[in-house]
Structure 1
Amino acid sequence: MLLRLLPVFCLCLLPVGVAAQPQTTQPATDLELRATYAPVVERAAPAVVNIYTKKVVTQRMRSVFDDPFFREFGGVPGRSRQRLQSSLGSGVIVDEGGIIVTNNHVVENAGEIKVVLADRREFEAEVLLTDPQTDLAILKVAADGPLPFLPFADSDTAAVGDIVLAIGNPFGVGQTVTSGIVSALSRTSASVSDYQFFIQTDAAINPGNSGGALIDVDGNLLGVNTAIYSRSGGSNGIGFAIPGNLVRQVVNSAAGGQMMVRRPWLGVQGTPVTSDIARVVGLDRPMGAIVGEVFPKGPADKAGLKEGDVILDIAGAEIYDAEALRYRPATRSEGDVLEVRYLRDGKEKTAKVKLAFPPERPARNDTRIEGSNPLSGAVIANLSPALAEEIGFNPMASGVVILEAERGSYASRYRLGRGLSILSVNGEKTETVEDVTKALNAEQRYFILQVADRNGRVSTMRIGR
């Protein structure tokens, strides 16, 4: 069995004076295939592309007037200049019609995107969809005729020890292939994505590999390389790939003409099971996630799940952390029914949960704030599970959130930007957009704002009118 899983290397003895003849035939058996990756690479490599981007960035120029002494008296504005910034990355063609998946951070804010195929053909690419939560972006190129593409593997079937190949363009040196194994699954320590559920590999991944392919020995797309764990910036043998099943959902959304990705949810908020909690609930080891909150009339609520239940597995996949409660439904479609095994009062139970999209309840009511107040220039909205999912918030969160702040506005000047929740204005609790606008219109000499960041850290600001 080991011979089927590991590359086979053999040293043949040749008669004296007989030169070794080059081997040109393709491997004929499964065992021979494991002795060389060349046939797999030959099939897969044409579908991996290089991506070059250009964008204009504004850079503030330092001067003597940056000194606090001069700012105190003159208020001299700092000068800035614009420069053209180039970057590179990799991508994977996943449809013969020219749909390409890459990392969002590769193309973010790019004014020009050029895709170069393995055969050196070049195309200008348009962005179909960006999904910062998964750090994925979907591009499209127009080519004459079908393009080579990689079919998706079922990433849920990946196992630790499986042989994998990483294909990309590290450091801009050109297409490169590295080999390794799946080192771990369900890794949640790489914070490049809100859906922290990665395939870990020891195949060498370096800068420029971002957006490239992680393939299995059948040449199918197992994941999209997205990050490395490194102190030096080079490969230390710990790389992360976004699982193919999650990538496929984003690709399907783009192919369907959607401008953003909608993902099904369970409608629960969970916390991991510690060793102490495992003993209390009767588990022989820490596993599962405790249901801390159930959204009223959500999928889990309709299926009978309650606060305090310990979810052990979803659709046969064991749960070891709370992130899996978001990831598992996110790889499925609306209306899919998943069997959830859970523990309640020491007894195992099962429930059939029909997945649905998070509701936009209450309505978001996007509102741009104007006037002489510290939030002027900001766009605020009511938080709902749908909006929370869109911006990477706790789906059970409620209240009012800042979606954006116009550059140069009062809001941006006071660093009241995207992702901050507005808790109160002048001591009045603000639960809706109407609460905020009413409080801001009150006659006050100054404003006292209480805001919270994504991690729940609360700040109080006193700002004059």
Structure 2
Amino acid sequence: MTRLWMAAAAALVLLAGPALAEDVVPANRAEIDLTFAPLVRTAAPAVVNIYARHMVVERQNPLFDDPFFQRFFGDDIPGGRPRQRMENSLGSGVVVAADGLVVTNHHVIKDADQITVVLADRTEFEAEVVLSDERTDLAFLRLKDIGGRALPFLPLGDSDALEVGDLVLAIGNPFGVGQTVTMGIVSAIARTAVGISDYDFFIQTDAAVNPGNSGGALIDMKGRLVGINTAIYSRTGGSLGIGFAIPANMLRGMMRSAETGQPVVRPWLGADGQAIDHSLAEAYGLDRPAGVLVNGVDPRGPAERAGLKVGDVVVAVDGHAVDDPESLRYRLVTLDLGATAKLAVRRGKDTVELSLPVEAPPEDPPRDQRVLGSGSPLAGATVVNVSPAVVEEMRLSGAGKGVVVAAVAARSPAGRLGLQPGDVLLRLNGDAVDSTAALEAALRGSRGPWRIAVQRGGQVLETTVGR
């Protein structure tokens, strides 16, 4: 027993000895005090509070909107006249250029009639929206009347250089309490399937982020903007340590559009694909279920010219791994038009590299937008011709030739029929719908009943409507 105790004691000494021997006494106060104060002093002045106001017109009682009441009383029903109510929303933003360009989330300023931006020094400016994109949930504002003042701004960092475990700071205005700084680490990168925007590719962090932080800064330890805090996962409305930020690399192209006034044009692959699951990974001899299996290639697109084929598995873009279709779409949207991307593709047992020209989707045929008139069940629908540009813009899947519904007027025959933006009109009375002009002519020449075939998602819906 004594021998066993001595052996254990010796083991403890061996384990503890080197660590004690390597301990070093701090030589100065800087080595004792771990602080982010110098970093925050530099970065915080570029983070702003955003107050968005939206005027809502409503009636005191929804019954007054009923056609029965309006028929007899109009707007003279006691208490039935519309009243105005101001809705206020609060968020954060980041100054990204000294001339007053501010980035925030689209959902922070959506439908705003008036936007006020408050700097860290409490200076207030009115702002106008120069670019707002629901698909990425990003918006850019321009501060008015700054009088030639050079504002503090944050430089964009390379979000692709982040690694899990890196320290980051989140700066924003949670719950409207004022500018707040929280610290955390990068919990995950390339987080997809979050369902926040059309481009699901986020930085996940455990830095405390709460309502009001939306649009605020996520910075690295060099004070560079690496993400825009956008959403949290929470069952209570408060922070549970799971926050999501839009990577800074998503901002670059949009920032150029905001500065130049040019519309946002996103690159086009010209191919459709699906995620790789375990069974497909085994069938294609892949080490793990990752990549995008190519199901179709547009003969007019850059993928065709690059040599991409049906059955190929795209596994990387410019050296960045592609795990699913969302990752591929993100990698493409961050590329500059006119550049050339390197696709790593698994073809059979080999991995080949293809050079993909980064191009904008063509609008061929022209969209020829038309609002369908009265006299048919499609009246009130705005339709456009299907083209690669429209397919990319509206995120249509599997749409070839035809006509797509771009908008539906409220209380219109098309709305009552159940048409939705993104529906593709395939056939009318058994004849293929090839163009908006042909559809309009066919509707004028028919008095019903109308047999209508619509593609929605992966399903084809058919209905017959009598006159």
The answer to whether structure 1 residue 54 and structure 2 residue 53 are counterparts is: yes
Partner of 1:322: 325
SS in 2 for 1:224: strand
Q: C-alpha offsets along residues 192-218 of structure 1, whole Å, 9 cap, x if unaligned?
A: 211111111111111111111111111
SS in 2 for 1:125: strand
Give yes or no for contact 1:50–1:117 (8 Å, CA) kept in 2: yes
Q: C-alpha offsets along residues 105-125 of structure 1, whole Å, 9 cap, x if unaligned?
A: 111111111111111111111
> C-alpha separation between the residues in 2 aligned to 1:177 and 1:382?
49
1:13-162 mapped onto 2 (5 Å cutoff): 35-59=34-58, 61-62=60-61, 81-142=83-144, 143-144=146-147, 145-162=149-166
> C-alpha separation between the residues in 2 aligned to 1:379 and 1:247?
31
SS in 2 for 1:323: helix
Cα shift at 1:433: 1.2
Q: Which moved more, 1:195-204 or 1:424-433?
A: 424-433
Could you state the TM-score of these two structures normalised by the residue count of structure 1? 0.86
Aligned counterpart in structure 1 of residue 453 of structure 2, from 436, 450, 454: 450
For residue 223 of structure 1, what is the amino acid of its counterpart?
G
The answer to whether structure 1 residue 306 and structure 2 residue 309 are counterparts is: yes
SS in 1 for 2:337: coil
Q: C-alpha offsets along residues 311-348 of structure 1, whole Å, 9 cap, x if unaligned?
A: 11110011111112211121110111121111112111
> C-alpha separation between the residues in 2 aligned to 1:165 and 1:91?
15
The 1:388–1:32 alpha-carbon spacing in structure 2 relative to 1, beyond 3 Å, is: farther
The 1:396–1:338 alpha-carbon spacing in structure 2 relative to 1, beyond 3 Å, is: farther
The 1:350–1:101 alpha-carbon spacing in structure 2 relative to 1, beyond 3 Å, is: same
Q: Which moved more, 1:362-371 or 1:193-202?
A: 362-371
Give yes or no for contact 2:386–2:399 (8 Å, CA) kept in 1: no
SS in 1 for 2:325: coil
The 1:402–1:261 alpha-carbon spacing in structure 2 relative to 1, beyond 3 Å, is: same
Partner of 2:349: 346
Q: C-alpha offsets along residues 274-329 of structure 1, whole Å, 9 cap, x if unaligned?
A: 12111221112112111111121322211111111011111001111111221112
The 1:76–1:381 alpha-carbon spacing in structure 2 relative to 1, beyond 3 Å, is: farther
SS in 2 for 1:46: helix
SS in 2 for 1:231: coil
Partner of 1:171: 175
For residue 54 of structure 1, what is the amino acid of its counterpart?
R
Q: C-alpha offsets along residues 26-68 of structure 1, whole Å, 9 cap, x if unaligned?
A: x5xxx779x211111111111111111111224455456799x
Give yes or no for contact 2:104–2:138 (8 Å, CA) kept in 1: yes
Give yes or no for contact 1:386–1:395 (8 Å, CA) kept in 2: no
Partner of 2:271: 268
Q: Which moved more, 1:300-309 or 1:385-394?
A: 385-394
> C-alpha separation between the residues in 2 aligned to 1:62 and 1:225?
38
Partner of 1:7: none
Cα shift at 1:163: 0.8
SS in 2 for 1:389: helix
- Structure 2 runs not aligned, ≥5 long: 1-22
Q: C-alpha offsets along residues 341-388 of structure 1, whole Å, 9 cap, x if unaligned?
A: 111121111111121111112211111211222332322101212122
Partner of 1:332: 335
Cα shift at 1:71: 6.4
Identity %: 47
The answer to whether structure 1 residue 226 and structure 2 residue 230 are counterparts is: yes
> C-alpha separation between the residues in 1 aligned to 2:360 and 2:383?
23
SS in 1 for 2:332: helix
The 1:61–1:93 alpha-carbon spacing in structure 2 relative to 1, beyond 3 Å, is: same
> C-alpha separation between the residues in 2 aligned to 1:66 and 1:57?
16
Aligned counterpart in structure 1 of residue 218 of structure 2, from 211, 214, 221: 214
> C-alpha separation between the residues in 2 aligned to 1:204 and 1:81?
39
Q: CA RMSD in A?
A: 2.8
Q: C-alpha offsets along residues 403-426 of structure 1, whole Å, 9 cap, x if unaligned?
A: 223344433454434333223333
Q: C-alpha offsets along residues 123-170 of structure 1, whole Å, 9 cap, x if unaligned?
A: 111111111110111110131211110101101111111111111111
- Structure 1 runs not aligned, ≥5 long: 1-9, 14-22
The 1:246–1:64 alpha-carbon spacing in structure 2 relative to 1, beyond 3 Å, is: closer
> C-alpha separation between the residues in 2 aligned to 1:332 and 1:402?
29
> C-alpha separation between the residues in 2 aligned to 1:220 and 1:434?
52
> C-alpha separation between the residues in 2 aligned to 1:192 and 1:125?
25
Q: Which moved more, 1:138-147 or 1:390-399?
A: 390-399
For residue 404 of structure 1, what is the amino acid of its counterpart?
A
Q: C-alpha offsets along residues 183-239 of structure 1, whole Å, 9 cap, x if unaligned?
A: 111111221211111111111111111111111111111011111112222211111
SS in 2 for 1:301: helix
Give yes or no for contact 2:219–2:227 (8 Å, CA) kept in 1: yes
Cα shift at 1:439: 2.6
> C-alpha separation between the residues in 2 aligned to 1:32 and 1:447?
80
Cα shift at 1:458: 4.5
1:278-427 mapped onto 2 (5 Å cutoff): 278-394=281-397, 397-427=400-430
The 1:451–1:234 alpha-carbon spacing in structure 2 relative to 1, beyond 3 Å, is: farther
Could you state the TM-score of these two structures normalised by the residue count of structure 2? 0.86
Give yes or no for contact 2:268–2:392 (8 Å, CA) kept in 1: no
> C-alpha separation between the residues in 2 aligned to 1:395 and 1:44?
45
Q: Which moved more, 1:307-316 or 1:442-451?
A: 442-451
Aligned residues: 436
Partner of 1:20: none
Cα shift at 1:83: 2.1
Give yes or no for contact 1:382–1:433 (8 Å, CA) kept in 2: yes
Give yes or no for contact 1:270–1:325 (8 Å, CA) kept in 2: no
The 1:282–1:121 alpha-carbon spacing in structure 2 relative to 1, beyond 3 Å, is: same
Partner of 1:17: none
Partner of 1:18: none
> C-alpha separation between the residues in 2 aligned to 1:448 and 1:75?
38
Q: Which has the larger radius of gyration?
A: 2
For residue 392 of structure 2, what is the amino acid of its counterpart?
E
